[in-house]
Amino acid sequence: DHVWEIPLTLGIVNHQLSLSLHEWINDGLMAVFFLLVGLEIKRELLAGELCSVRQATLPIACAIGGMVVPSAIYLFFNFRGMGSHGWGIPMATDIAFALGALNLIAPNAPIGAKVLLTALAIVDDMGAVLVIALFYSEAIAWTALAGAAVTLLVLIGFNLAGVRHLWAYLLAGVVLWLFVHASGVHATIAGVALAFTIPTNTRINAVEFSREARSLLGDFDRRETGDFLVLTSKGQQEALFSLERASEGVTAPVLRLERALHNFSAFVVMPLFAFANAGVKIDLSMQHLEIGLGVLVGLVFGKPLGIMAAALVAVKMGIARLPMGVSWRSLLGYGCLAGIGFTMSLFIAMLAFPDSPLVDTAKRGIVVGSLLAGVAGAVLLKISPVLRDDQ
């Protein structure tokens, strides 16, 4: 534990920020994770499963049910107790763990099921971001918040002016993070705000790229010097560099950044966050048991029941239908997988109970609840009938 409390100072001259390693991970690196979450949300809203009301109805309904019911169950156990502030813990879904578990348990699951679980988890992330911003931030420092607002306007100006260089957005994003951190709003919100300013437009369209790429590949072939070494052919090098520029021009900055962040988030940010926060103290006492029970029952039972109830209402009202290949029993299984809260639930728990022994009880509920939810999902999906896409 002492390692995570080592102070680390970054800055220049009189402008320095000193935080513990634990705080740099939770406030700094997790902002990168939430930047990726924001990019995924933006992509889904513009061109994915959330881009139209009809497509978005079922995942939004399921996500709302999957947030409200677990939180209500948690409050049932902790309505008057010390742990009432942790109501947001069981509402979260760890999208990476949930989808990873689905691919492991049911690699041949219908594409509609994977799309539904992904869209549901993304809407769930949107809800978690909103909850963090509104309920788990400190007292607001309005001057710093005004600085964040001005920086955000600058970023929006970059977008409207057609700036496509990601470094400009990332540099301004660092300034935005500093202002948000100083304002009392949780610093990870800066990542989501930055994501929504990253451009989605391209310099050339697909038809223009295809035409230019064929022309450049023709140039590449014609400029072969006979030794089949690009290193010795200036003409082939120029053709390749031009093709690289064309590829960059047809790829939206939002996609380039999302692709660049995926591995860093998966193999650096998430493991570090888990190592820094997932330590669970074994305590056989019954103290604060209601907190752990509220989290566990919320994740294991609240998530699938909330998702099922919301889906049933939406389908019966005629405003949505189940994806092809998805039965009601299998939907219950996918709902259980959505109960794998792990990293997102841990993150909210750290915000709900900062520097409090209550967080250890919440962690035990999260770890055990996430494991049980995964096992329940696996069992239900194994015994569910496999439907064809036309059924």
Same domain, 290 and 220: no
17 or 66: which leads in pLDDT: 66
**Which of 84-93, 170-179, 242-251, 272-281 shows the lowest per-residue confidence on average (mean pLDDT)?**
272-281
Q: Dump pLDDT digits (tens) for 87-109.
A: 999 998 988 888 888 888 888 88
The CATH number given to whatever domain includes residue 76 is: 1.20.1530.10
Percentage of the chain beyond pLDDT 70 is 94
pLDDT over 50 (residue 283): yes
Task: Give the helix, strand, coil percentages of the chain, each rounded to 5.
Answer: 70, 5, 25
Residue 112 lies in a domain: yes
Same domain, 285 and 237: no
Domain holding 224, by residue range, is: 206-250
Same domain, 289 and 375: yes
Same domain, 237 and 309: no
Q: CA 174, CA 161: separation in Å to the nearest integer?
A: 20
Same domain, 281 and 245: no
What's the number of domains the chain is made of?
A: 2
Residue 176 lies in a domain: no
Q: CA 179, CA 10: separation in Å to the nearest integer?
A: 15
pLDDT over 90 (residue 11): no
Band of pLDDT at residue 113, cut at 50, 70 and 90: confident
Residue 213 buriedness (CB in 10 A; 0-12 / 13-18 / 19+): middle
What is the model's pTM?
0.80
Question: Helix/strand/coil (H, E, C) string of 108-157?
Answer: CCCHHHHHHHHHHHHHHHHHHHHHHHHHCCCCCCHHHHHHHHHHHHHHHH
* Amino acid 386: pLDDT: 54
* Amino acid 285: pLDDT: 57
Band of pLDDT at residue 391, cut at 50, 70 and 90: very low
Same domain, 72 and 107: yes
50 or 194: which leads in pLDDT: 194
Same domain, 292 and 225: no
* Amino acid 281: pLDDT: 59
Band of pLDDT at residue 280, cut at 50, 70 and 90: low
Give the mean model confidence (pLDDT) for residues 292-297.
Answer: 96
Same domain, 287 and 378: yes
pLDDT over 80 (residue 172): yes
Same domain, 242 and 313: no
Estimate to the nearest angstrom the gap between the alpha carbon of 187 and the chain centroid: 15
Residue 339 lies in a domain: yes
* Amino acid 118: pLDDT: 85
What 3-state class would DSSP assign to 16?
Answer: strand
Same domain, 346 and 288: yes
Cβ atoms within 10 Å, residue 53? 9
Same domain, 245 and 284: no
Q: CA 391, CA 386: separation in Å to the nearest integer?
A: 10
Residue 46 lies in a domain: no
104 or 293: which leads in pLDDT: 293
Percentage of the chain beyond pLDDT 90 is 55
Residue 4 lies in a domain: no
* Amino acid 384: pLDDT: 75
Same domain, 289 and 330: yes
Give the mean model confidence (pLDDT) for residues 195-202.
Answer: 94
Asked if 278 and 238 touch (Cβ cutoff 8 Å), the reply is: no
Considering 250, 268, 285, which residue would you say is the last residue of a domain?
250
Residue 3 lies in a domain: no
* Amino acid 1: pLDDT: 55
Mean pLDDT of the chain: 88
Residue 60 lies in a domain: yes
pLDDT over 90 (residue 16): no
Residue 244 lies in a domain: yes
